[in-house]
Structure 1
Protein backbone atom coordinates (compact mmCIF):
# COMPACT_ATOMS: atom_id res chain seq x y z
CA UNK A 1 0.00 0.00 0.00
CA UNK A 2 1.33 3.41 -0.97
CA UNK A 3 1.50 6.29 1.48
CA UNK A 4 -1.14 8.12 -0.58
CA UNK A 5 -3.50 5.13 -0.46
CA UNK A 6 -3.02 4.87 3.29
CA UNK A 7 -4.45 8.37 3.67
CA UNK A 8 -7.71 7.49 1.91
CA UNK A 9 -10.80 7.37 4.16
CA UNK A 10 -11.75 3.98 2.62
CA UNK A 11 -9.64 1.18 1.14
CA UNK A 12 -8.71 1.82 -2.49
CA UNK A 13 -11.52 0.66 -4.77
CA UNK A 14 -14.06 0.40 -1.93
CA UNK A 15 -17.24 2.44 -1.60
CA UNK A 16 -18.13 4.90 1.14
CA UNK A 17 -21.23 2.79 1.92
CA UNK A 18 -23.35 5.91 1.62
CA UNK A 19 -26.62 4.03 1.20
CA UNK A 20 -26.12 2.13 4.49
CA UNK A 21 -24.44 4.86 6.54
CA UNK A 22 -26.83 7.72 5.76
CA UNK A 23 -29.51 6.27 8.08
CA UNK A 24 -27.21 6.12 11.09
CA UNK A 25 -28.37 8.28 14.05
CA UNK A 26 -25.61 10.89 13.77
CA UNK A 27 -26.38 11.54 10.09
CA UNK A 28 -30.14 11.63 10.64
CA UNK A 29 -29.61 14.14 13.45
CA UNK A 30 -27.78 16.50 11.10
CA UNK A 31 -30.51 16.17 8.50
CA UNK A 32 -33.23 16.86 11.06
CA UNK A 33 -31.33 19.91 12.34
CA UNK A 34 -30.99 21.16 8.77
CA UNK A 35 -34.73 20.68 8.26
CA UNK A 36 -35.57 22.48 11.52
CA UNK A 37 -33.45 25.48 10.59
CA UNK A 38 -35.16 25.65 7.22
CA UNK A 39 -38.54 25.47 8.92
CA UNK A 40 -37.61 28.54 10.96
CA UNK A 41 -36.33 30.33 7.84
CA UNK A 42 -39.58 29.55 6.06
CA UNK A 43 -41.56 31.04 8.94
CA UNK A 44 -39.95 34.39 8.28
CA UNK A 45 -40.55 34.00 4.54
CA UNK A 46 -44.14 32.96 5.23
CA UNK A 47 -44.71 36.07 7.39
CA UNK A 48 -43.38 38.22 4.58
CA UNK A 49 -45.49 36.44 1.96
CA UNK A 50 -48.69 36.59 4.04
CA UNK A 51 -48.27 40.33 4.54
CA UNK A 52 -47.36 40.96 0.93
CA UNK A 53 -50.11 38.94 -0.70
CA UNK A 54 -52.61 39.81 2.03
CA UNK A 55 -52.17 43.47 1.17
CA UNK A 56 -52.40 42.61 -2.52
CA UNK A 57 -55.74 40.89 -1.90
CA UNK A 58 -57.32 43.03 0.82
CA UNK A 59 -55.87 46.44 -0.10
CA UNK A 60 -57.66 46.89 -3.46
CA UNK A 61 -60.93 45.59 -2.02
CA UNK A 62 -60.74 47.96 0.93
CA UNK A 63 -59.88 50.89 -1.33
CA UNK A 64 -62.84 50.15 -3.57
CA UNK A 65 -65.33 49.68 -0.73
CA UNK A 66 -64.01 52.51 1.46
CA UNK A 67 -62.42 55.09 -0.88
CA UNK A 68 -61.21 57.23 2.03
CA UNK A 69 -58.72 54.49 2.96
CA UNK A 70 -56.92 54.55 -0.41
CA UNK A 71 -54.00 56.71 0.71
CA UNK A 72 -53.62 54.78 3.97
CA UNK A 73 -53.56 51.43 2.14
CA UNK A 74 -50.96 52.76 -0.31
CA UNK A 75 -48.77 54.00 2.57
CA UNK A 76 -49.05 50.70 4.45
CA UNK A 77 -48.14 48.79 1.27
CA UNK A 78 -45.05 50.95 0.75
CA UNK A 79 -44.01 50.50 4.39
CA UNK A 80 -44.48 46.76 4.21
CA UNK A 81 -42.35 46.61 1.08
CA UNK A 82 -39.46 48.18 3.03
CA UNK A 83 -39.93 45.99 6.12
CA UNK A 84 -40.27 42.82 4.06
CA UNK A 85 -37.13 43.43 2.05
CA UNK A 86 -34.97 44.43 5.01
CA UNK A 87 -35.68 43.01 8.46
CA UNK A 88 -37.77 39.98 7.47
CA UNK A 89 -35.33 39.06 4.71
CA UNK A 90 -32.38 39.35 7.10
CA UNK A 91 -34.03 37.05 9.65
CA UNK A 92 -34.77 34.51 6.94
CA UNK A 93 -31.19 34.61 5.65
CA UNK A 94 -29.80 34.10 9.15
CA UNK A 95 -31.76 30.89 9.65
CA UNK A 96 -31.01 29.78 6.11
CA UNK A 97 -27.28 30.00 6.75
CA UNK A 98 -27.67 27.76 9.81
CA UNK A 99 -29.56 25.26 7.68
CA UNK A 100 -26.97 25.32 4.90
CA UNK A 101 -24.10 24.71 7.32
CA UNK A 102 -25.96 21.79 8.94
CA UNK A 103 -26.56 20.27 5.52
CA UNK A 104 -22.92 20.81 4.60
CA UNK A 105 -21.84 18.94 7.71
CA UNK A 106 -24.20 16.08 6.83
CA UNK A 107 -22.75 15.86 3.32
CA UNK A 108 -19.08 16.12 4.25
CA UNK A 109 -19.34 13.53 7.02
CA UNK A 110 -21.37 11.16 4.84
CA UNK A 111 -19.18 11.67 1.78
CA UNK A 112 -15.93 11.47 3.80
CA UNK A 113 -14.85 14.84 2.42
CA UNK A 114 -12.88 17.47 4.36
CA UNK A 115 -14.71 20.47 5.81
CA UNK A 116 -13.85 23.70 3.98
CA UNK A 117 -13.45 26.17 6.82
CA UNK A 118 -12.43 29.04 4.55
CA UNK A 119 -15.81 28.76 2.84
CA UNK A 120 -18.23 27.70 5.57
CA UNK A 121 -16.45 28.82 8.75
CA UNK A 122 -16.49 26.53 11.76
CA UNK A 123 -18.76 23.47 11.68
CA UNK A 124 -22.02 23.79 13.63
CA UNK A 125 -21.71 22.91 17.33
CA UNK A 126 -23.04 19.42 18.17
CA UNK A 127 -25.13 20.90 21.00
CA UNK A 128 -26.93 23.26 18.62
CA UNK A 129 -27.57 20.49 16.11
CA UNK A 130 -28.98 18.22 18.80
CA UNK A 131 -31.26 20.97 20.10
CA UNK A 132 -32.58 21.74 16.63
CA UNK A 133 -33.02 18.07 15.72
CA UNK A 134 -35.17 17.43 18.81
CA UNK A 135 -37.93 19.50 17.24
CA UNK A 136 -38.27 16.91 14.44
CA UNK A 137 -39.90 13.78 15.87
CA UNK A 138 -40.30 11.65 12.74
CA UNK A 139 -37.16 10.20 11.14
CA UNK A 140 -39.08 8.75 8.19
CA UNK A 141 -38.76 11.55 5.63
CA UNK A 142 -34.99 11.73 6.17
CA UNK A 143 -34.13 8.08 5.65
CA UNK A 144 -32.62 6.97 2.35
CA UNK A 145 -31.89 10.63 1.60
CA UNK A 146 -29.72 9.75 -1.39
CA UNK A 147 -31.95 7.18 -3.05
CA UNK A 148 -29.95 6.35 -6.18
CA UNK A 149 -28.31 2.99 -6.86
CA UNK A 150 -24.64 3.11 -5.84
CA UNK A 151 -23.89 -0.60 -6.04
CA UNK A 152 -20.45 -1.35 -7.44
CA UNK A 153 -19.40 2.30 -7.43
CA UNK A 154 -16.18 3.00 -5.48
CA UNK A 155 -15.39 6.16 -3.53
CA UNK A 156 -15.32 9.00 -4.57
CA UNK A 157 -17.38 8.16 -7.68
CA UNK A 158 -20.31 7.27 -5.40
CA UNK A 159 -20.02 10.75 -3.89
CA UNK A 160 -20.16 12.33 -7.34
CA UNK A 161 -23.38 10.47 -8.18
CA UNK A 162 -25.00 11.66 -4.95
CA UNK A 163 -23.92 15.22 -5.68
CA UNK A 164 -25.49 14.86 -9.11
CA UNK A 165 -28.83 13.71 -7.67
CA UNK A 166 -28.90 16.70 -5.32
CA UNK A 167 -27.99 19.14 -8.09
CA UNK A 168 -30.53 17.80 -10.61
CA UNK A 169 -33.28 17.61 -7.98
CA UNK A 170 -32.82 21.22 -6.89
CA UNK A 171 -32.53 22.46 -10.46
CA UNK A 172 -35.87 20.88 -11.31
CA UNK A 173 -37.60 22.31 -8.24
CA UNK A 174 -36.27 25.83 -8.76
CA UNK A 175 -37.23 25.91 -12.43
CA UNK A 176 -40.75 24.65 -11.72
CA UNK A 177 -41.26 27.02 -8.79
CA UNK A 178 -40.04 30.03 -10.77
CA UNK A 179 -42.61 29.27 -13.45
CA UNK A 180 -45.37 28.82 -10.86
CA UNK A 181 -44.61 32.19 -9.25
CA UNK A 182 -44.61 34.03 -12.57
CA UNK A 183 -47.93 32.50 -13.64
CA UNK A 184 -49.48 33.45 -10.29
CA UNK A 185 -48.16 37.02 -10.49
CA UNK A 186 -49.35 37.58 -14.05
CA UNK A 187 -52.72 36.04 -13.18
CA UNK A 188 -53.18 38.41 -10.23
CA UNK A 189 -52.20 41.40 -12.38
CA UNK A 190 -54.80 40.44 -15.00
CA UNK A 191 -57.48 40.02 -12.33
CA UNK A 192 -56.73 43.56 -11.14
CA UNK A 193 -57.14 44.92 -14.66
CA UNK A 194 -60.46 43.11 -15.09
CA UNK A 195 -61.73 44.50 -11.78
CA UNK A 196 -60.68 48.02 -12.82
CA UNK A 197 -62.49 47.70 -16.14
CA UNK A 198 -65.65 46.31 -14.56
CA UNK A 199 -65.65 49.08 -11.92
CA UNK A 200 -64.94 51.66 -14.65
CA UNK A 201 -61.97 53.12 -12.73
CA UNK A 202 -59.82 55.90 -14.10
CA UNK A 203 -56.09 55.32 -14.48
CA UNK A 204 -55.37 57.30 -11.31
CA UNK A 205 -58.00 55.36 -9.38
CA UNK A 206 -56.60 52.05 -10.66
CA UNK A 207 -53.06 52.98 -9.63
CA UNK A 208 -54.03 54.06 -6.11
CA UNK A 209 -56.75 51.53 -5.32
CA UNK A 210 -55.46 48.38 -7.03
CA UNK A 211 -51.94 48.65 -8.41
CA UNK A 212 -50.13 50.23 -5.44
CA UNK A 213 -51.49 47.77 -2.84
CA UNK A 214 -50.57 44.93 -5.21
CA UNK A 215 -47.15 46.33 -6.15
CA UNK A 216 -45.16 44.40 -3.50
CA UNK A 217 -46.73 41.14 -4.70
CA UNK A 218 -45.99 41.99 -8.33
CA UNK A 219 -42.38 42.87 -7.54
CA UNK A 220 -41.87 39.75 -5.45
CA UNK A 221 -43.33 37.46 -8.11
CA UNK A 222 -41.18 38.97 -10.87
CA UNK A 223 -38.00 39.03 -8.78
CA UNK A 224 -38.48 35.55 -7.37
CA UNK A 225 -39.28 33.94 -10.71
CA UNK A 226 -36.14 35.51 -12.22
CA UNK A 227 -33.99 34.44 -9.27
CA UNK A 228 -35.27 30.85 -9.37
CA UNK A 229 -34.66 30.54 -13.11
CA UNK A 230 -31.17 31.99 -12.77
CA UNK A 231 -30.50 29.60 -9.90
CA UNK A 232 -31.70 26.65 -11.97
CA UNK A 233 -29.30 27.70 -14.74
CA UNK A 234 -26.39 27.90 -12.28
CA UNK A 235 -27.19 24.41 -11.01
CA UNK A 236 -27.36 23.12 -14.56
CA UNK A 237 -23.84 24.41 -15.18
CA UNK A 238 -22.55 22.47 -12.15
CA UNK A 239 -24.49 19.44 -13.37
CA UNK A 240 -22.62 19.64 -16.68
CA UNK A 241 -19.32 19.73 -14.79
CA UNK A 242 -20.37 16.62 -12.85
CA UNK A 243 -21.19 14.84 -16.10
CA UNK A 244 -17.80 15.78 -17.54
CA UNK A 245 -16.03 14.39 -14.47
CA UNK A 246 -18.07 11.20 -14.64
CA UNK A 247 -17.43 10.72 -18.35
CA UNK A 248 -13.67 11.17 -17.94
CA UNK A 249 -13.68 8.87 -14.91
CA UNK A 250 -15.49 6.08 -16.76
CA UNK A 251 -13.31 6.53 -19.84
CA UNK A 252 -10.20 6.23 -17.68
CA UNK A 253 -8.73 9.43 -19.07
CA UNK A 254 -8.37 10.93 -15.60
CA UNK A 255 -8.45 9.88 -11.96
CA UNK A 256 -11.46 11.16 -10.07
CA UNK A 257 -10.21 12.60 -6.79
CA UNK A 258 -11.68 13.79 -3.53
CA UNK A 259 -10.52 17.28 -4.53
CA UNK A 260 -12.79 17.12 -7.59
CA UNK A 261 -15.76 16.22 -5.39
CA UNK A 262 -14.78 18.89 -2.88
CA UNK A 263 -14.95 21.50 -5.67
CA UNK A 264 -18.45 20.30 -6.58
CA UNK A 265 -19.36 20.47 -2.87
CA UNK A 266 -18.09 24.05 -2.70
CA UNK A 267 -20.38 24.96 -5.59
CA UNK A 268 -23.31 23.21 -3.89
CA UNK A 269 -22.66 25.07 -0.64
CA UNK A 270 -22.59 28.47 -2.35
CA UNK A 271 -25.74 27.73 -4.31
CA UNK A 272 -27.56 26.67 -1.15
CA UNK A 273 -26.29 29.67 0.79
CA UNK A 274 -27.00 32.35 -1.79
CA UNK A 275 -29.92 30.92 -3.74
CA UNK A 276 -33.65 31.52 -3.30
CA UNK A 277 -35.75 29.09 -1.26
CA UNK A 278 -38.32 26.60 -2.49
CA UNK A 279 -41.22 26.17 -0.01
CA UNK A 280 -41.33 22.82 1.76
CA UNK A 281 -44.92 22.21 0.60
CA UNK A 282 -43.86 22.61 -3.04
CA UNK A 283 -40.92 20.28 -2.42
CA UNK A 284 -43.14 17.66 -0.78
CA UNK A 285 -45.71 17.78 -3.57
CA UNK A 286 -43.01 17.04 -6.15
CA UNK A 287 -40.79 14.75 -4.09
CA UNK A 288 -42.00 11.38 -5.34
CA UNK A 289 -41.93 12.40 -8.99
CA UNK A 290 -38.52 14.09 -8.84
CA UNK A 291 -37.03 11.23 -6.81
CA UNK A 292 -38.12 8.79 -9.48
CA UNK A 293 -36.73 10.91 -12.31
CA UNK A 294 -33.32 11.43 -10.64
CA UNK A 295 -32.98 7.71 -9.95
CA UNK A 296 -33.87 6.94 -13.57
CA UNK A 297 -31.42 9.59 -14.77
CA UNK A 298 -28.61 8.09 -12.71
CA UNK A 299 -29.37 4.62 -14.07
CA UNK A 300 -29.28 5.97 -17.62
CA UNK A 301 -25.99 7.78 -16.97
CA UNK A 302 -24.36 4.65 -15.62
CA UNK A 303 -25.74 2.50 -18.44
CA UNK A 304 -24.46 4.86 -21.13
CA UNK A 305 -20.93 4.70 -19.69
CA UNK A 306 -20.76 0.95 -19.04
Structure 2
Protein backbone atom coordinates (compact mmCIF):
# COMPACT_ATOMS: atom_id res chain seq x y z
CA UNK A 1 0.00 0.00 0.00
CA UNK A 2 2.79 2.43 0.88
CA UNK A 3 4.54 1.89 -2.46
CA UNK A 4 1.31 2.20 -4.43
CA UNK A 5 0.55 5.66 -3.04
CA UNK A 6 3.53 7.11 -4.94
CA UNK A 7 2.50 5.69 -8.32
CA UNK A 8 2.07 8.12 -11.20
CA UNK A 9 -1.71 7.64 -11.20
CA UNK A 10 -2.09 8.36 -7.49
CA UNK A 11 0.28 11.33 -7.48
CA UNK A 12 -1.81 12.75 -10.33
CA UNK A 13 -4.89 12.38 -8.12
CA UNK A 14 -3.17 14.21 -5.27
CA UNK A 15 -2.07 16.98 -7.62
CA UNK A 16 -5.65 17.38 -8.86
CA UNK A 17 -6.98 17.27 -5.31
CA UNK A 18 -4.58 19.99 -4.12
CA UNK A 19 -5.48 22.16 -7.11
CA UNK A 20 -9.20 21.94 -6.30
CA UNK A 21 -8.66 22.72 -2.63
CA UNK A 22 -6.31 25.59 -3.50
CA UNK A 23 -8.87 26.97 -5.96
CA UNK A 24 -11.56 26.90 -3.29
CA UNK A 25 -9.16 28.70 -0.93
CA UNK A 26 -8.72 31.44 -3.54
CA UNK A 27 -12.47 32.12 -3.51
CA UNK A 28 -12.36 31.88 0.28
CA UNK A 29 -9.56 34.47 0.47
CA UNK A 30 -11.47 36.89 -1.77
CA UNK A 31 -14.62 36.49 0.32
CA UNK A 32 -12.84 37.04 3.62
CA UNK A 33 -10.68 39.95 2.43
CA UNK A 34 -13.67 41.89 1.10
CA UNK A 35 -15.65 41.09 4.26
CA UNK A 36 -12.80 42.62 6.30
CA UNK A 37 -12.26 45.55 3.93
CA UNK A 38 -15.87 46.82 4.03
CA UNK A 39 -16.02 47.61 7.79
CA UNK A 40 -12.47 49.00 7.78
CA UNK A 41 -13.38 51.38 4.96
CA UNK A 42 -16.60 52.34 6.73
CA UNK A 43 -14.69 53.19 9.93
CA UNK A 44 -12.06 55.13 7.95
CA UNK A 45 -14.68 57.25 6.22
CA UNK A 46 -16.39 57.88 9.55
CA UNK A 47 -13.12 59.15 11.03
CA UNK A 48 -12.45 61.28 7.94
CA UNK A 49 -15.88 62.92 8.13
CA UNK A 50 -15.94 63.16 11.91
CA UNK A 51 -14.81 66.78 12.03
CA UNK A 52 -17.02 67.83 9.14
CA UNK A 53 -19.94 70.10 9.89
CA UNK A 54 -22.01 68.71 7.02
CA UNK A 55 -24.04 65.54 7.02
CA UNK A 56 -22.89 62.33 5.40
CA UNK A 57 -24.86 59.32 4.27
CA UNK A 58 -21.72 57.19 3.94
CA UNK A 59 -22.64 55.08 6.96
CA UNK A 60 -26.05 54.28 5.54
CA UNK A 61 -24.53 53.35 2.19
CA UNK A 62 -22.01 51.07 3.85
CA UNK A 63 -24.85 49.36 5.71
CA UNK A 64 -26.53 48.75 2.36
CA UNK A 65 -23.25 47.56 0.84
CA UNK A 66 -22.64 45.28 3.81
CA UNK A 67 -26.11 43.74 3.45
CA UNK A 68 -25.66 43.27 -0.31
CA UNK A 69 -22.26 41.74 0.29
CA UNK A 70 -23.86 39.04 2.43
CA UNK A 71 -25.72 37.85 -0.68
CA UNK A 72 -22.64 38.08 -2.91
CA UNK A 73 -20.51 36.29 -0.31
CA UNK A 74 -23.09 33.49 -0.26
CA UNK A 75 -22.67 33.00 -4.02
CA UNK A 76 -18.87 32.97 -3.69
CA UNK A 77 -19.19 30.41 -0.91
CA UNK A 78 -21.14 28.17 -3.31
CA UNK A 79 -18.18 28.31 -5.72
CA UNK A 80 -15.89 27.35 -2.83
CA UNK A 81 -18.14 24.40 -2.01
CA UNK A 82 -18.09 23.23 -5.62
CA UNK A 83 -14.31 22.94 -5.64
CA UNK A 84 -14.32 21.39 -2.17
CA UNK A 85 -16.68 18.69 -3.48
CA UNK A 86 -14.41 18.02 -6.46
CA UNK A 87 -11.35 17.83 -4.19
CA UNK A 88 -13.17 15.52 -1.76
CA UNK A 89 -14.20 13.13 -4.53
CA UNK A 90 -10.69 13.05 -5.98
CA UNK A 91 -9.24 12.36 -2.53
CA UNK A 92 -11.83 9.62 -2.11
CA UNK A 93 -10.62 8.08 -5.38
CA UNK A 94 -7.04 8.19 -4.09
CA UNK A 95 -8.05 6.37 -0.90
CA UNK A 96 -10.12 3.80 -2.79
CA UNK A 97 -7.11 2.99 -4.97
CA UNK A 98 -5.03 2.26 -1.87
CA UNK A 99 -7.55 0.77 0.55
CA UNK A 100 -9.15 -1.87 -1.69
CA UNK A 101 -12.68 -0.87 -0.67
CA UNK A 102 -15.64 -0.14 -2.90
CA UNK A 103 -16.75 3.30 -4.08
CA UNK A 104 -19.96 4.33 -2.27
CA UNK A 105 -21.94 5.77 -5.15
CA UNK A 106 -24.99 6.44 -2.94
CA UNK A 107 -23.03 8.70 -0.59
CA UNK A 108 -20.24 10.13 -2.72
CA UNK A 109 -22.00 10.26 -6.09
CA UNK A 110 -20.34 9.97 -9.47
CA UNK A 111 -16.56 10.02 -9.74
CA UNK A 112 -14.73 12.97 -11.27
CA UNK A 113 -13.95 12.21 -14.92
CA UNK A 114 -10.36 11.27 -15.87
CA UNK A 115 -10.29 14.28 -18.23
CA UNK A 116 -11.11 16.70 -15.41
CA UNK A 117 -8.56 15.04 -13.13
CA UNK A 118 -5.90 15.43 -15.82
CA UNK A 119 -6.84 19.10 -16.32
CA UNK A 120 -6.78 19.85 -12.58
CA UNK A 121 -3.50 17.99 -12.14
CA UNK A 122 -1.83 19.97 -14.93
CA UNK A 123 -2.84 23.22 -13.20
CA UNK A 124 -1.16 22.29 -9.91
CA UNK A 125 1.88 24.52 -9.30
CA UNK A 126 2.96 23.32 -5.85
CA UNK A 127 5.80 21.11 -4.66
CA UNK A 128 5.08 17.56 -5.81
CA UNK A 129 7.55 16.12 -3.28
CA UNK A 130 5.18 17.14 -0.48
CA UNK A 131 2.55 14.83 -1.98
CA UNK A 132 4.67 11.71 -1.75
CA UNK A 133 4.40 9.25 1.14
CA UNK A 134 0.94 10.57 1.99
CA UNK A 135 0.48 7.86 4.62
CA UNK A 136 3.39 6.75 6.77
CA UNK A 137 4.32 4.37 9.58
CA UNK A 138 2.17 1.50 8.28
CA UNK A 139 3.73 -1.97 8.32
CA UNK A 140 1.11 -4.28 9.85
CA UNK A 141 0.87 -7.82 8.52
CA UNK A 142 -2.90 -7.25 8.42
CA UNK A 143 -3.82 -5.23 5.30
CA UNK A 144 -6.97 -3.63 6.70
CA UNK A 145 -5.18 -2.68 9.91
CA UNK A 146 -2.94 -0.53 7.72
CA UNK A 147 -6.05 0.87 6.06
CA UNK A 148 -7.82 1.78 9.28
CA UNK A 149 -4.66 3.38 10.67
CA UNK A 150 -4.37 5.47 7.51
CA UNK A 151 -8.00 6.49 8.01
CA UNK A 152 -7.29 7.39 11.62
CA UNK A 153 -4.40 9.56 10.41
CA UNK A 154 -6.90 11.48 8.28
CA UNK A 155 -9.14 11.98 11.29
CA UNK A 156 -6.46 13.02 13.78
CA UNK A 157 -4.70 15.33 11.31
CA UNK A 158 -7.99 17.14 10.82
CA UNK A 159 -8.70 17.44 14.55
CA UNK A 160 -5.45 19.27 15.17
CA UNK A 161 -6.07 21.77 12.36
CA UNK A 162 -9.75 22.31 13.12
CA UNK A 163 -9.26 22.92 16.84
CA UNK A 164 -6.43 25.38 16.33
CA UNK A 165 -8.33 27.29 13.66
CA UNK A 166 -11.52 27.26 15.77
CA UNK A 167 -9.71 28.87 18.69
CA UNK A 168 -8.06 31.41 16.39
CA UNK A 169 -11.36 32.38 14.73
CA UNK A 170 -13.22 32.76 18.02
CA UNK A 171 -10.43 34.84 19.56
CA UNK A 172 -10.06 37.15 16.55
CA UNK A 173 -13.83 37.59 16.11
CA UNK A 174 -14.36 38.28 19.80
CA UNK A 175 -11.43 40.69 19.92
CA UNK A 176 -12.70 42.52 16.84
CA UNK A 177 -16.17 42.92 18.37
CA UNK A 178 -14.74 44.19 21.67
CA UNK A 179 -12.39 46.64 19.93
CA UNK A 180 -15.15 48.08 17.74
CA UNK A 181 -17.37 48.60 20.79
CA UNK A 182 -14.47 50.26 22.61
CA UNK A 183 -13.85 52.40 19.53
CA UNK A 184 -17.49 53.48 19.53
CA UNK A 185 -17.23 54.58 23.16
CA UNK A 186 -13.92 56.35 22.52
CA UNK A 187 -15.29 58.52 19.69
CA UNK A 188 -18.66 59.02 21.43
CA UNK A 189 -20.67 57.17 18.80
CA UNK A 190 -24.37 56.80 19.36
CA UNK A 191 -25.78 53.28 19.35
CA UNK A 192 -27.47 54.01 16.04
CA UNK A 193 -24.21 55.19 14.49
CA UNK A 194 -22.36 52.12 15.76
CA UNK A 195 -24.94 49.74 14.33
CA UNK A 196 -25.14 51.50 10.95
CA UNK A 197 -21.48 52.36 10.42
CA UNK A 198 -19.66 49.46 12.09
CA UNK A 199 -21.84 46.53 13.13
CA UNK A 200 -23.89 46.06 9.95
CA UNK A 201 -20.89 46.40 7.59
CA UNK A 202 -19.06 43.88 9.83
CA UNK A 203 -21.90 41.39 9.98
CA UNK A 204 -20.66 39.02 7.26
CA UNK A 205 -17.21 38.59 8.81
CA UNK A 206 -18.60 38.26 12.36
CA UNK A 207 -21.14 35.66 11.29
CA UNK A 208 -18.41 33.76 9.49
CA UNK A 209 -16.04 33.93 12.47
CA UNK A 210 -18.38 32.77 15.23
CA UNK A 211 -20.38 30.30 13.12
CA UNK A 212 -17.29 28.69 11.63
CA UNK A 213 -15.57 28.45 15.02
CA UNK A 214 -18.56 26.62 16.46
CA UNK A 215 -18.83 24.28 13.46
CA UNK A 216 -15.12 23.45 13.63
CA UNK A 217 -15.47 22.58 17.31
CA UNK A 218 -18.39 20.24 16.59
CA UNK A 219 -16.55 18.58 13.72
CA UNK A 220 -13.37 18.04 15.73
CA UNK A 221 -15.36 16.43 18.58
CA UNK A 222 -17.03 14.05 16.12
CA UNK A 223 -13.73 13.16 14.48
CA UNK A 224 -12.11 12.57 17.87
CA UNK A 225 -14.88 10.12 18.79
CA UNK A 226 -14.28 8.23 15.54
CA UNK A 227 -10.52 8.16 16.14
CA UNK A 228 -11.01 6.86 19.67
CA UNK A 229 -13.30 4.09 18.42
CA UNK A 230 -10.42 2.86 16.25
CA UNK A 231 -8.06 2.86 19.24
CA UNK A 232 -10.63 0.81 21.18
CA UNK A 233 -10.36 -1.96 18.58
CA UNK A 234 -6.64 -2.22 19.32
CA UNK A 235 -7.19 -2.05 23.09
CA UNK A 236 -9.64 -4.97 22.99
CA UNK A 237 -7.40 -6.91 20.60
CA UNK A 238 -10.35 -7.77 18.38
CA UNK A 239 -8.73 -7.14 15.00
CA UNK A 240 -11.20 -9.48 13.28
CA UNK A 241 -13.64 -6.57 13.26
CA UNK A 242 -11.25 -4.60 11.05
CA UNK A 243 -12.25 -5.62 7.54
CA UNK A 244 -13.30 -4.06 4.24
CA UNK A 245 -16.84 -3.42 5.48
CA UNK A 246 -15.69 -1.65 8.66
CA UNK A 247 -13.16 0.41 6.72
CA UNK A 248 -15.88 1.45 4.26
CA UNK A 249 -17.97 2.71 7.20
CA UNK A 250 -15.08 4.80 8.49
CA UNK A 251 -14.43 6.06 4.98
CA UNK A 252 -18.05 7.23 4.79
CA UNK A 253 -17.62 9.14 8.05
CA UNK A 254 -14.38 10.71 6.81
CA UNK A 255 -16.10 11.84 3.61
CA UNK A 256 -19.03 13.36 5.50
CA UNK A 257 -17.33 14.99 8.48
CA UNK A 258 -13.86 15.73 7.15
CA UNK A 259 -14.21 16.37 3.43
CA UNK A 260 -17.51 17.26 1.81
CA UNK A 261 -18.55 19.41 4.80
CA UNK A 262 -15.00 20.50 5.42
CA UNK A 263 -14.30 24.09 6.43
CA UNK A 264 -11.30 25.54 4.68
CA UNK A 265 -8.15 25.88 6.75
CA UNK A 266 -5.66 28.59 5.70
CA UNK A 267 -2.69 27.20 3.79
CA UNK A 268 -0.17 28.77 6.18
CA UNK A 269 -1.68 26.94 9.18
CA UNK A 270 -1.78 23.67 7.24
CA UNK A 271 1.91 23.76 6.29
CA UNK A 272 2.96 25.26 9.64
CA UNK A 273 1.70 22.21 11.51
CA UNK A 274 2.53 19.58 8.89
CA UNK A 275 6.05 18.54 10.07
CA UNK A 276 5.03 18.20 13.72
CA UNK A 277 1.70 16.48 13.04
CA UNK A 278 3.17 14.16 10.40
CA UNK A 279 5.90 12.98 12.76
CA UNK A 280 3.38 12.41 15.54
CA UNK A 281 1.07 10.39 13.27
CA UNK A 282 3.93 8.25 11.96
CA UNK A 283 5.10 7.38 15.49
CA UNK A 284 1.58 6.48 16.64
CA UNK A 285 0.99 4.38 13.51
CA UNK A 286 4.25 2.52 14.11
CA UNK A 287 3.31 1.78 17.71
CA UNK A 288 -0.17 0.53 16.81
CA UNK A 289 1.24 -1.46 13.89
CA UNK A 290 3.68 -3.24 16.19
CA UNK A 291 0.85 -4.03 18.59
CA UNK A 292 -1.27 -5.49 15.76
CA UNK A 293 1.59 -7.73 14.64
CA UNK A 294 1.61 -9.38 18.07
CA UNK A 295 -2.04 -10.39 17.76
Per the normalisation by structure 1, the TM-score is: 0.88
Is 1:69 matched up with 2:58?
yes
Task: Note the aligned Cα RMSD (angstroms).
Answer: 1.8
The answer to whether the Cα contact below 8 Å between 2:140 and 2:290 also exists between their aligned partners in 1 is no
Q: Secondary structure at the match of 2:2?
A: helix
The answer to whether the Cα contact below 8 Å between 1:38 and 1:99 also exists between their aligned partners in 2 is yes
Unaligned runs of 5+ in 2: 50-55
1:90 Cα deviation from its structure 2 partner: 1.2
1:203 Cα deviation from its structure 2 partner: 1.8
1:241 Cα deviation from its structure 2 partner: 2.3
Is 1:28 matched up with 2:11?
yes
Which of 37, 44, 52 aligns to 2:20? It is 37
Give a deviation string over 1:162-182, Cα, whole Å, max 9, x none. Answer: 011110000111111011111
Unaligned runs of 5+ in 1: 1-17
Aligned length: 285
Which of 240, 243, 249 aligns to 2:231? It is 243
What residue is the counterpart of 2:220 in the other structure? 232
CA distance in 2 between counterparts of 1:178 and 1:253 reads: 35
Is 1:222 matched up with 2:210?
yes
Per the normalisation by structure 2, the TM-score is: 0.91
What residue is the counterpart of 2:192 in the other structure? 204
Is 1:177 matched up with 2:177?
no
Q: Secondary structure at the match of 1:113?
A: coil
Which of 274, 287, 296 aligns to 2:261? It is 274
Q: Secondary structure at the match of 1:134?
A: helix
Map residues 1-306 of structure 1 onto 2, 5 A cutoff: 18-66=1-49, 67-85=56-74, 87-137=75-125, 138-147=127-136, 149-248=137-236, 251-252=237-238, 254-271=240-257, 272-302=259-289
1:78 Cα deviation from its structure 2 partner: 0.8
CA distance in 2 between counterparts of 1:215 and 1:152 reads: 51
Q: Secondary structure at the match of 1:150?
A: coil
CA distance in 1 between counterparts of 2:214 and 2:69 reads: 22
CA distance in 2 between counterparts of 1:23 and 1:127 reads: 20
CA distance in 2 between counterparts of 1:74 and 1:91 reads: 25
1:110 Cα deviation from its structure 2 partner: 1.2
The answer to whether the Cα contact below 8 Å between 1:63 and 1:73 also exists between their aligned partners in 2 is no
The answer to whether the Cα contact below 8 Å between 1:56 and 1:217 also exists between their aligned partners in 2 is no
